[in-house]
Amino acid sequence: MNIVGIHPGHDASLALVKNGRLVHSVAMERFSGVKKSHIIKFEYFERFLWDCGLQIDDIDYFTMAFWNAENVPWLNIYSPPNEHYPLSIFGRDNVDVGILNHLDVHHTGQENWRPSFVEGIGYTLPNLWDRLRKPFISQSFRHKLVAPLHLTVQGSNKIFKGYFVDHHTSHASAAFYTSPFEKSVIFTVDATGREPDETSGMFLGDGHRINLFKNPQYMYGTFYDSATEFCGLGPGLEKAGVLMGLAAYGNISLKAQDNWKKWTRPYSKRGETEDVTYDDWLFHQISGDYPYVRTMIPQIINKEPNHYMYTREFQKVYSKEQSTSQHVMNVAADIQFIAERSLVHYAHKLFKEASNLHDNNLCVAGGTFLNCNANYKVMTESGFQRMHMFPACGDDGLSAGSALYVNHQVKEQPRLHYEPKDIMYLGYDYSNDGYDSPYVEYDLDLDIVSQEIADGKIICWYQGRAEMGPRALGNRSFICDARRKDMKDIINSRVKFREWYRPFAPVVLNEYKDEWFRMDFESPFMLFTVPCKKPFDIPSGVHIDNTARVQTLKRSDNTKFYDLIKSFYNLTGVPVVMNTSLNIKGRPIVETPEQAIELFNESDVDILVINDKMYYKNKLKNG
């Protein structure tokens, strides 16, 4: 059985569950070269199928957790004629559920749009459809988290079966079904909505079943997104992690320490304040400045890169130049502190309320849990003993989550076991594809590469299958020596061209993790920021607060990368190297060997390694 998951929103992606196992997933930004891309072109879909060894007609089911017809023009969806029409409104802005009665004029642009019946397929659905929870579902679907679909695909005469799966249920499924847990609770948080049912969820996972446990109405993810823009850092969708890095340079106020619980109480306990207005009010409480509505911000007027990602187009508080002032750093520190304390608080409440249902296991998902600092606090302070995340815990994981949900919950297929490597590297392997290089080719020697790293060289490291998710986990990485104090500044200024204050991530051999870092758990997906015990030994691998967003590495998960670090350890006595994603500012991680060569040409780095071959910048074939 082949189930293809589709996510045609920001961080658009495709995934394949084949015979019950998640075997392939890729974000469309890797194909398009546009970061956070929301478009799935038919050529990308064909490329994905080719990577998977499938033809279109080999697909048994399609799944999705979001639908925008403009983003996938080669696909059409319909409600089967023998099912309840699963709609009342479409899109997260409209709350007039009771009066719409299957009428949508908000997103289609068509006055008096109504569903029509297509013989043999079903009823037409509107151009945009988002979420199945209250209040975004008709009465007959109120307690369901999935709705059946019929689909037609360009290039095929087949009528495909499919399912629309609730957004947060898809997040929860990506985490739970790839976890090692038979039983767990699942906490999901993101920033994609303004209604209390949209931005968080708490679920129970037991065997192959997932059930909604409660809706905590936790909405701080939307505030964090808006606050990133108010701080002058850029769109929250793209730059929330920058705010997290900036926060370490600030001082946490007593006001934030005294009020964080009140400020993050559930939506229903706020009173009548609508969420956008509440976020404006809260930013003023933290910063002392109010995000007044003004003229359109210059980033959009000037069409700067990713200008379309902004959500507060007419509100500006601080400029990019002001974003590194001590005042804004202090504001960022408060915002991050509140995120950490409130996530721990809600997770601990879940720990207590579901006390006999989780076996001390917690799964988390949603873009908010890319906040590695908060993840460490949740892991160590919420009461749970074990915690799991899917590497693509943002919306790029929705395609995998919706497909896994249908496979296990709807089709009742048994759970399968995943090792970390099985979900770290879900992309295509180009090892057997040829490529041309202008450089003299050498056979890879890990001892030589480790010596070059120890001598201060920067390595472009490209191997095997691409990672799924935003982190480079040893197959698409820049690698260098964390012992050198100046290496962070060199990488930021010569290679990545990004903000000076952003930290880099160390990779440590798993058996040495507790010697170098304050952790008694593994971090294979680089989603925890932990205190470093020896910060002066790896100064470029730690942040200003002596923490590090660490990846722990077992040889069974990535043999070649492990052996490289082991060789470096034998040479230097340090089982740690610095790792950052193989891209430059504003671009996604490279996908193909040709892109790795192009990046090598453009970057001020020294050595390129592609699978079992290595190349030096100063040794051209015709040089």
| pLDDT over 70, % of the chain | 93
228 and 241 in contact (C-beta within 8 Å)? Answer: no
Least confident of 126-140, 152-166, 377-391, 523-537: 126-140
How far is the C-alpha of 467 from the C-alpha of 460, rounded, in Å? 15
Q: What is the pLDDT of residue 298?
A: 85
According to the model, what pLDDT value does residue 547 have?
Answer: 97
Structure tokens at 517: 């870092």
- How far apart are alpha carbons 449 and 408 in whole angstroms? 44
What percent of the chain lies above the pLDDT cut of 90? 76
Q: What is the pLDDT of residues 435-451, one digit of tens each?
A: 999 999 999 999 999 99
When pLDDT is averaged across residues 380-407 and rounded to a whole number, the result is: 97
Q: Check if the beta carbon of residue 250 is closer than 8 Å to that of residue 329.
A: yes
Residue 136: band (very low, low, confident or very high) from pLDDT cuts 50, 70, 90: low
Contact 162, 148 (CB under 8 A): yes
Q: What is the pLDDT of residue 103?
A: 44
Contact 141, 149 (CB under 8 A): no
Judged by average pLDDT, the poorest of 117-121, 205-209, 247-251 is 117-121
Return the pLDDT at 555: 98
Is pLDDT at 96 greater than 70 in this prediction? no
C-alpha 1: how far from its chain's center? 27
Q: Which of 437, 427, 449 is nearest to 566 (CA)?
A: 449
- Which range has the worst mean pLDDT, 186-200, 359-373, 602-616? 186-200
Residue 429's beta-bridge partner residues?
A: 465
Asked whether residue 102 carries a pLDDT value surpassing 60, the answer given is no
Q: Report whether pLDDT(501) > 80.
A: yes
Nearest CA among 227, 167, 165 for reference residue 195: 167
Mean pLDDT computed over 503-516: 96
| Domains contained in the chain, CATH given | 2-168 (3.30.420), 179-389 (3.30.420.40), 442-616 (3.90.870.20)
The pLDDT of residue 98 is: 36
pLDDT recorded at residue 141: 57
Q: Is the pLDDT of residue 590 over 80?
A: yes
Q: What is the pLDDT of residue 108?
A: 45
- Give the CA radius of gyration of the chain: 24
Helices (H) and strands (E) in the chain, counts: 18, 25
Length of the chain: 623
When pLDDT is averaged across residues 121-150 and rounded to a whole number, the result is 75
Q: Are 162 and 152 in contact (CB under 8 A)?
A: no
Q: Show Cβ contacts of residue 611 under 8 Å, excluding neighbours closer than 6 positions.
A: 431, 444, 462, 463, 464
Residue 276: per-residue pLDDT: 86
Q: Is residue 273 within 8 Å of residue 281, measured between CB atoms? A: yes
Three-state secondary structure string covering 415-480: CCCCCHHHHHCCCCECCCCCCCCCECCEECCHHHHHHHHHCCCCEEEECCECCCCCCCCCCEEEEE
pLDDT of 454 over the 90 cut:
yes
Q: Is the pLDDT of residue 94 over 80?
A: no
CA distance 185 to 178: 14
Q: What mean pLDDT do residues 302-314 have?
A: 84
pLDDT score of 97: 38
* Average pLDDT of the segment spanning 320-349: 97
Which token pair is 406?
């249908």
Tens digits of per-residue pLDDT, 215-253?
A: 999 999 999 999 999 999 999 999 999 999 999 999 999
- DSSP one-letter string for 200-228: EEEEEEETTEEEEEE-----HHHHHHHHH
Residue 48 has pLDDT above 90, yes or no: yes
| Residue 586: per-residue pLDDT | 81
pLDDT of residue 191 exceeding 60, the answer is yes
Q: Does the pLDDT at position 18 exceed 50?
A: yes
**145-160: average pLDDT:** 93
Closest CA to 577 of 501, 489, 478: 478
**Phi, psi of 130, deg, nearest 5:** -140, 115
Q: In sequence order, which residues have a C-beta less than 8 Å from that of residue 380 and are 6 or more positions away?
A: none
d(CA 519, CA 541): 16
Mean pLDDT across the stretch 175-179? Answer: 98
Structure tokens at 11: 């961080």
Instruction: Specify the pLDDT at position 365.
Output: 98
Out of 10-24, 125-139, 529-543, least confident range: 125-139
Residue 131: the pLDDT is: 80
Confidence of residue 137 (pLDDT cuts 50, 70, 90): low
pLDDT bin (cut points 50, 70, 90) of residue 84 is confident
Looking up tokens 């569903």 gives 115
Higher pLDDT, 305 or 20: 20
Cα(247)–Cα(173) distance, rounded to whole angstroms? 31
Report the chain's mean pLDDT, rounded to a whole number. 91
pLDDT beyond 80 at 104? no
Poorest-pLDDT segment among 2-6, 137-141, 369-373, 537-541: 137-141
Question: Looking only at Cα atoms, what is the longest distance across the chain?
Answer: 73
Directed axis angle between helix 372-381 and helix 236-247, to 10°?
60
Could you tell me the two tokens for 392? 């693509």
